[in-house]
Structure formats: structure tokens, C-alpha cells
Amino acid sequence: MSTIVEKILAKSSGKNSVRAGEFVLSNVDVVFAHDGTALLAIESMQEIGIEKVFDANKVVFFIDHASPSPSPQISNIHSAMRKFAKKHGIRLYDVGSGICHQVLPEEGYVKPGSVIVGADSHTVTHGAFNAFATGVGSTDAAIAMSTGKLWFMVPESVKITVEGQFRDMVMSKDLVLHVLGEVKADGLTYKSVEYHGSCIDGLSVDSRMTIANMAVEMGAKCCPMELNSATEEWLKERVGSFRQVKADKNASYSDELYVDASKLEPLVAAPSNVDNVKSVREVEGVEVDQVFIGSCTNGRIEDIKVAVKILDGHHVKARCIVIPASRRIYYEALHAGYLDKLVKAGCIVGFPTCGPCIGAHMGLLGDGEVAVSTSNRNFIGRMGSSSSKIYLASPATAAASALEGKIVDPRKYGGGV
Amino acid sequence: MKISGKCVKLGDHINTDLIISGKYKYRTQDIRELAKYVFEDLDPKLKDRLYGGSIIVAQKNFGCGSSREQAPRVLKAAGVNAVIAESFARIFFRNAVNVGLPVIISDKDFIRSVKEDETLTVDLSLGKVYALSSGQEASIKPYPDFMLKIIEAGGIAEYFKTFKRFPWENI
């Protein structure tokens, strides 16, 4: 009778069962923070007066948001993080390692059924590995870091069933944009989202992470997904043995949504709200100054590969910044010859970082500039000037738009993603 | 506990990037310094109206987006005594409670009908919000007991300093 999140939170709070609406005090398996949130977490610990770490193996820091540092002020934040990590013996992934949401699972920190708390809203990404993973602020992170526990309200769950296969040049980003357009930016506030169905079962790990990543743009608290064979294989190499948590057949959902994946087409979230979703056809021809392919949403090998497929042998007309999400992905793309092809096509290939997504560095937009970005937020001023405009899109749409210097439907460059 | 302030009305989906832009978040860690840039991308003049004790009255999904805790801290430093909204994004809501910024869920009709600049008073004990000049009142959504204790203490750090424990140990 329980949903995935009810089962995980019951176990983590030492109860036989819990129901949506209950408050629980849960044990936490992993807590992490990055250079945008860690210093405030350290300061919160000092403010509260409990500067200790409950388990050095379960607390992780990442320097990924403005990395390597673009200013002396940020260098000081990085130094303070390194000092804290050394003092408490916790692991710190330094500049160049990659984005927290990519590195954390790559390094084997994310186990199915576990409770993961990150001082970053996109922590929901780890739901792709069947974890209860949710974003918190710095003070909650500080409390979790020092006590190993955090209170939660058990969320209601919403079931989204996706059947069928994507058509050529349609990607999981288009699916998640479609759902966002349907439920809107606050449609799943406080909810746990469970994706089910034959489409989800057939997806790669990369594609599943994109879907879980954007659950927070609908207000969701978490997005725990049942494992598929691709994800089980991926996990076996990284975490050893594990046991996933499945929803009961008669679990109770507050709402259900059905999507036919075969009917989806390339979509964008037009400026300046994430739920302003339109088909690429509706905005085709809009001139583009900059394209960004990267971020915790779409900076993985599958995303780089589709960009290469579209750009190989051609030359981009818009500035095109490509940033692999982790050192591992960078290395894989380098050795597959993808980066070589992207550089030849006129792209700027960056080191692993969050980059321009959060407007910290590596390509901020000027007044009135238009960007197509594979990231997750198109809010006013997010990537630079408050008069710049951001269209969120899949890597296929982004690459095709870079090629022509205007928004175009990637299906004209099709032939299998 | 009673909180008063002059009403500053905002719309739906006020995200944390609008409250404090990522561009500034990395320039300084000083919250009072950051407060100079509050709502800059939305309306650079808004900060003058927040100063000296205001209550933001917003519509749906206030505080959506990034988990940055600087957002509620900056609002407090800018002179905001409370935020009343139809609904809040969950991370912002938790952050605001933790830093002692009262976040209050109230009635849509009340939120739509209160006037700019009129004085509002929230009575957390009675669970009511009053707009004195227009004579309106509405109920507010009650907090769970442990959350009310954090708000009344002025934030979790203040609570812990006073009681040497967290209020949720028996939930």
C-alpha cells in the first residue's frame, strides 16, 4: 500500500510504515554542499554552535559552481571549504572534478533506497538511482552534517506513466519539458514524483537523470524512480550490492498523468518561466547569440554525442559553449573524439563546472542577448543581464540552433539519436 | 507572537534568483551588503519600499528555484518582517523558518484584496492576519508545533542556543 518515498522514509526513520502528511525525523545517508552553499552551512554550524560532522564518510563538499575561481572573493570561499574539509576529514571534490549531481553517483555515494540531502535544489537528480534525494538550504545541510538527521514531511506521490518510444531527435529533456508544461511550475509542490512505464524502463542512465533533475522545476520534493536494467548495470560497477525500493501495486497516488512518448516533439521553455513550454516549431527562427550545452541537466556523454552528431563537419553560427558535467565525462568525450569534432566545429569546450547556468562565470549574457541552453532555469537574469533571454531546450535542439544561429527543429538533422 | 509591517505586493512564482541574483551571491558573503541588490532584476526600486519593516504579500509559489538560503536572509536584512503568500516553494519555506523569517500561507481572496502600503498585522497565536485600514481579516495556515517554536525563537540557531536541543526530537 506504500509509495517509494513512504517506504524509504519509514525505514530511515525507524518506523514500520509512514503515510503522506506525517512528520518524521529521518536518518541521512549522504549530505553534501557546494561552493554556492557550503560556506553558509559552515557559518550556520558556528551560529548554532555545533561545529562537528556526524560521519566524515557521509559528508561531501564540491567546488563546482564557480570553478576554477573567477575572482579573489570566490577563491576565499573555496579556501574556507578546503580548510573545513581538512579539519573534519571529509571528502572534497576540488576544481575540475565536475558538478556535484554528476560526481556524487559516479563516485558511488548514491545507493538505491538511501536518503540523500544536498544543499542544492537539483539534488532531486539522484532519484534516478531510486534514492530519496532532496534539496535543502545551508542551515538544514548544517544540521544534517552535524547530527546525521533531518525532519521531513512525508510527501504525497504523483504517478506519471510514460509509454512508447521517443521519435528521432526527441530526447528525455523534451519529455520533462512536456510534463512541466502540463503540470506547471508549482504543480507538484511538496510532492514525490514517480515516473513509470515502458518508455522510462528503456531509458539510459543519462536520460533518466535529466528527468529526475527537473522535477524540482515543478516544485517536487523528490523523484525516486524504480531501477531499470541500464541503471542496475551502472550501479553494480559503483556501489556493489544494493536493494531497490519499489512502490506497492496498490500504492496511493494523489494524482496520475499519462504521456505517450511517441507523440512528443522537440520543445523549449521560452523566456522567462520554466513552464512557458512551446514546441520548437512555434519559436523557430528566433535569432540566437549563445548556445550552452552542459549543466547537471544535460552535460552527460549522451548529450555531447548528439551535439557531435549534428555539428560534426559543420561550423556553428552562434557562440556554442560545451561543458561536460564531470571529469569522467570530459575524458570519455575526449577519447571518443567528440571534443575534437566540437572544437573543429567552432565550439568552446570548457572544463567541468556549472558554468554559465547560474550566471557565475564562463559566458554570461549581455543586454538583450538570446541564449538556447540545455540547463534547467530560464529565469530573468539567471545567466547574466536582466534583459537577456533564455530558451531551455534539449542538446539536440541546442546544437541545431548553434549550427544555424537561430532556433531550429533538430529533426532536420535526424537519423537516430 | 505578533508581526506588523506595511504591505508590499508581488505576483506569482517569485524565484530566488529574483530575490538575490546568482551574480551577486558570489561577490560577498555579507548579507547586509547583498541586501542592496534584493529584487534588482525585478525592480531596482523595490528595496526602498521593503526598508523599515514590510510584509511581502505574494501569490503562488513564492521562493521557487535555487535552494540559496541567502534569499530569506537577504529579505530579513532588507527590512522584511514576514512573507504572506498563497503557496511557497518547499526549500524556501524551510529556509525561511530556519532563519526566523515568518512565512505565512493565507487566503487567496485576502491576498488579492489587500492594498499596497497598508499596515498588516499577523497574530501567530490566534492564526489570523489583519489589514487594519481596510478592516479585512483572514485565517492563516497553522504551523506544526515544532515549527512555531522555531519561528517564535527567531530561527533555529536562536532556538538551539536557548534550549540546547532541536525542537523536533519528539516528532
Nearest CA in chain B to A147: B166
Residues of B with CB under 8 A from a CB of A: 13, 15, 17-18, 21-23, 25-29, 40-42, 60-61, 64-70, 87, 89-91, 94-95, 98-99, 144, 146, 156-157, 160-161, 166, 168-169, 171
Predicted pLDDT of residue B24: 82
What chain A residue is nearest to B28 in terms of C-alpha separation? A73
CA dist., res. B42 & res. B19, Å (int): 8
**pTM of the shown model:** 0.97
* Residue B22 to residue A360, Cβ atoms within 8 A: yes
d(CA B38, CA B40): 5
Give Cβ neighbours of residue B161 (< 8 Å, ≥ 6 apart).
A48, A49
CB within 8 Å: B26 and A360: yes
Percent of chain A with pLDDT over 90: 98
> Which tens digits make up the pLDDT trace of B4-23?
999 999 999 999 999 999 87
CB contact under 8 A, A139 and B166: no
Say what the pLDDT of residue B134 is. Answer: 86
The answer, yes or no, to whether ipTM is higher than 0.95 is yes
Chain A CB contacts of B67 below 8 Å: 37, 119-121, 135-137
Partner residues linked to A260 by β-bridges:
A163
- Three-state SS for chain B is CEEEEEEEECCCCCEHHHHCCHHHHCCCCCHHHHHHHCCCCCCCCHHHHHCCCEEEEECCCECECCCCCHHHHHHHHCCEEEEEECCECHHHHHHHHHHCCCEEEECHHHHHHCCCCCEEEEECCCCEEEECCCCEEEEECCCCHHHHHHHHHCCHHHHHHHHCCCCCCCC
Q: Does the N-terminal peptide bond of residue A68 adopt cis geometry, omega within 30 degrees of 0?
A: yes
Domain ranges of chain A: 25-152, 155-264, 269-412
Q: How many CA atoms does the CB half-sphere of A213 hold within 13 Å?
A: 25
Q: Per the CB < 8 Å rule, is B17 touching A121?
A: no
Contact criterion met (CB < 8 Å) for B161 and A50: no
State the cell numbers at B37: 541588490
Q: Average pLDDT of B94-112?
A: 97
Say yes or no for a CB contact (<8 Å) between A380 and B17: yes
Asked whether this chain's domains A25-152 and A155-264 adopt the same fold, the reply is yes
Which triple of cell numbers denotes residue A75? Answer: 577563491
Q: From CA A94, how far away is CA A64, in angstroms rounded?
A: 8
Do the Cβ atoms of B61 and A189 come within 8 Å? yes
Longest dimension (CA), chain A: 60
Domains of chain B: 2-141 (3.20.19.10)
- Name the CATH superfamily housing domain A155-264: Aconitase, domain 3 (3.30.499.10)
CATH architecture designation of domain A25-152: 2-Layer Sandwich (3.30)
Note the pLDDT of residue A362: 94
A21 Rama sector, left if φ>0, alpha if ψ -120 to 50, beta otherwise: left
Per-residue pLDDT of chain A (417 residues; tens, 9 = 90+): 999 999 999 999 999 999 999 999 999 999 999 999 999 999 999 999 998 999 999 999 999 999 999 999 999 999 999 999 999 999 999 999 999 999 999 999 999 999 999 999 999 999 999 999 999 999 999 999 999 999 999 999 999 999 999 999 999 999 999 999 999 999 999 999 999 999 999 999 999 999 999 999 999 999 999 999 999 999 999 999 999 999 999 999 999 999 999 999 999 999 999 999 999 999 999 999 999 999 999 999 999 999 999 999 999 999 999 999 999 999 999 999 999 999 999 999 999 999 999 998 999 999 999 999 999 999 999 999 999 999 999 999 999 999 999 999 999 998 744
Residue A276: all three cell numbers together: 512557458
Query: pLDDT by residue (tens digit) across B42-68?
Result: 999 999 999 999 999 999 999 999 999
pLDDT of B29 reads 80
Q: What is the pLDDT of residue B69?
A: 97
Question: Of 3.50.50.60, 1.10.3720.10, 3.30.499.10, 3.30.160.250, which CATH number belongs to A269-412?
Answer: 3.30.499.10
Contact (Cβ atoms closer than 8 angstroms) between residue A407 and residue A285: yes
Q: What is the pLDDT of residue A417?
A: 43
**A119 neighbors A145 (Cβ within 8 angstroms):** no
Angle at alpha carbon of residue A59, lines to B100 and A299, rounded to 5°: 95
The torsion angles phi and psi of A157, rounded to 5 degrees, stand at -115, 145
